[in-house]
Structure 1
Amino acid sequence: MKIDPAFIWTAFIALLSALPTTIAITAVSVFFGFIIGTAVALIRLYRVPFLHYIATGYVTFIRGTPMLMHLLLIYFGLPMIIDAVAAALGWSFRSVSIPMIGFAFLSFSITAGAYLAEVVRSGIVAVNRGQIEAAYSVGMTTPQALRRIVLPQALAVSLPNLSNTLIGMLHGSTLAFTVSVVEINAKAQIVATTNWKFFEAYIAAALLFWGITFVIERAAGLLEKRINSYNRGGVA
C-alpha cells in the first residue's frame, strides 16, 4: 500500500466543511458545562442541604462512566421521556423534532459539567480564605465576594485545567458521529469511502485536530502569561 500525499491535502480541504460543527459542539458543551460545573462546585463547597448529595452523586456517576455512555443514554433515553410526557399532556411535540446535534450538545454539556465542577472547586479552594473574610469585613455578601473576588482568582488558578478540559471535549466531540452528527471524524470516513483511502483521510483529520489543539494551547498560554503579569503588578 502506498500513501497518497495529494489525497491527504484533498481530504484536509474537504474536512474543513465539518470544522464549524466540531467547534460548535466543543464550545457549547464547555460553555454550558462551565455554568453547570460552577453551580455544582458551589453547592458542594457550601454543602447546600439535599442538593449537596445530588451534586456529589452527579459528579461521581459522570466521572465514573464513559463519555460515549452518556451520549447513548441521552440519545435513547431522552426521546422516551419526552414522548411519554408529551403524550400525557396532549402536546403535539415529539422527540423526532430534535436535531441530532441537540443530543450531542446536551450530553457533552453534562459530561463537561462534572469535570469542570472539580476544576472550579479546586480553583476556589486554592484561593486564600482570608480573601473572602476580608470581603465580609467590608460588608460584602457571599455572592458579592464570590463574584468580585473569589471566582476571578479561581478562574486564573484553574486556567491550565480549563484548557485541558477544552481540549478533551474537542477530542471527545468525535463521538458525536455515533448519533449521525457529521463532525471532523465522521467527515473523514465519508471522504475516505470515495476511494477507500482511509489512512490518508485520518491523517488529514489528525492534522486538523492537532492544529486546533495547538491554537487552544497557545491562546491559553498567552492568557495565563497575561494574568500572571497582572498578578505580579506589571503590565504585559
Structure 2
Amino acid sequence: MSIDFPYIGTALWKLLPALPTTLYITFVSVACGLIIGTIVAFARIYKVPVLSQLGTAYVTIVRGTPMLTHLLLIYFGLSMILDSLSVKYGWSFNSVSIPMIGFAYISFSITAGAYLAEVVRSGLLAVDKGQLEAAHAVGMTTFQGLRRIVFPQAFAAALPNLSNSLIGMLHGSTLAFTVSVVDINAKAQIIATTNWKFSEAYLAAALLFWGLTILIERGASFLEKRINVYNRGGVA
C-alpha cells in the first residue's frame, strides 16, 4: 500500500471547515470546567459541609471513569429524563430540541471540571496561607486578597497543568463523533469514505491536531515567561 502524499494537503484543506467545531467543544468545555473546578476546589480546600464531600465524590467518580462513558450517559440519560418530564408535564421542549453538540458541551464540561478541580486546588495550595492573612492585615477584603494576590500566584503555579488539560480536552473532543458531531476526526472519516484514502485523511487530521497542540504549548510558554518577568520584579 502506498500513501498519496499530495492528497494529504488536499484532505487538510477539506478538514478546515470542521476546525471551528473542535475549537468550540474544547474551549467551551474547558471554560465551563474551570468554573466548576474552581467551585469544587474551594469547597474542598475550605471544607464546606456537604459540598466538600460531594466535590470529593464528583472528582473521584468522574476521574475514575472513561470520558466516552460520560458522553454516552449524558446523551442517553439526559434525553430519557427530558423526554419523560416532557410527557409528564406537557412541555413542548424535549431532547430533540437539543443540538447534538449540546450534549458534547455538557458531558465534556463535567469531565473537564473534575480534572481542573485538582489543577485549581493544587495551584491554590501552592500559595502560602499567610499571604491572604497579610492581605487582611492591610485592609483588603477576602475577595480582594484572592483576586489581587492569591489567584495570580495560583494561576502561575497551575499553568503547566492547565495547558495539559486544554490539550487533553482538545484530543478528547474527537469522541464527539459518537453522538454525530462532525469535528476534525469525524470529517476525516467522511472525507476518506469518498475515495478510501483513510491513511491520508487521518494523517491530515493528525497534522492539524499537532499544529493546534503546538499553538497551545507556545501560548502557555509565552504566558509563563510573562509571569516570570513579574515574579522577578521586572516590567513586561
TM score, norm. by length of structure 2:
0.97
Cα deviations by residue, 1:84-140 (Å, 9 ceiling, x for unpaired): 222232211111110000000000000000000000000000001111110121233
Match for residue 185 of structure 2?
Answer: 185
Alignment of 1:85-234 (within 5 A): 85-234=85-234
What amino acid does structure 1 have at the position aligned with 2:49? P
Report the aligned-residue RMSD. Answer: 1.0
Query: What's the secondary structure of 1:19's corresponding residue?
Result: helix
Cα deviations by residue, 1:24-63 (Å, 9 ceiling, x for unpaired): 0001000000000000000000111111111110000000
What amino acid does structure 1 have at the position aligned with 2:234? G
1:226 deviates by 0.5
Alignment of 1:53-92 (within 5 A): 53-92=53-92
Q: Which whole-Å CA distance do the structure 2 matches of 1:102 and 1:31 have between them?
A: 15
1:80 deviates by 1.0
Query: What's the secondary structure of 2:92's corresponding residue?
Result: coil
Q: Which whole-Å CA distance do the structure 2 matches of 1:85 and 1:151 have between them?
A: 41
Match for residue 30 of structure 1?
Answer: 30
Identify unmatched segments of 5+ residues in structure 1. none
Q: Which whole-Å CA distance do the structure 2 matches of 1:81 and 1:218 have between them?
A: 43
**Identity of aligned pairs, percent?**
72
Query: What's the secondary structure of 2:194's corresponding residue?
Result: coil
Q: Which whole-Å CA distance do the structure 2 matches of 1:92 and 1:85 have between them?
A: 10
Alignment of 1:38-49 (within 5 A): 38-49=38-49
Q: Which whole-Å CA distance do the structure 2 matches of 1:44 and 1:140 have between them?
A: 24
Query: What's the secondary structure of 1:47's corresponding residue?
Result: coil
Q: Which whole-Å CA distance do the structure 1 matches of 2:208 and 2:174 have between them?
A: 13
1:235 deviates by 2.1
What amino acid does structure 2 have at the position aligned with 1:127? V
Match for residue 16 of structure 1?
Answer: 16
Q: Which whole-Å CA distance do the structure 1 matches of 2:137 and 2:88 have between them?
A: 54
What amino acid does structure 2 have at the position aligned with 1:106? I
Q: Which whole-Å CA distance do the structure 1 matches of 2:49 and 2:129 have between them?
A: 22
Query: What's the secondary structure of 1:194's corresponding residue?
Result: helix
Number of residue pairs the alignment of both structures matches: 236
TM score, norm. by length of structure 1:
0.97
What amino acid does structure 1 have at the position aligned with 2:184? I
Identify unmatched segments of 5+ residues in structure 2. none
Q: Which whole-Å CA distance do the structure 1 matches of 2:108 and 2:30 have between them?
A: 8
1:153 deviates by 1.3
1:165 deviates by 0.3
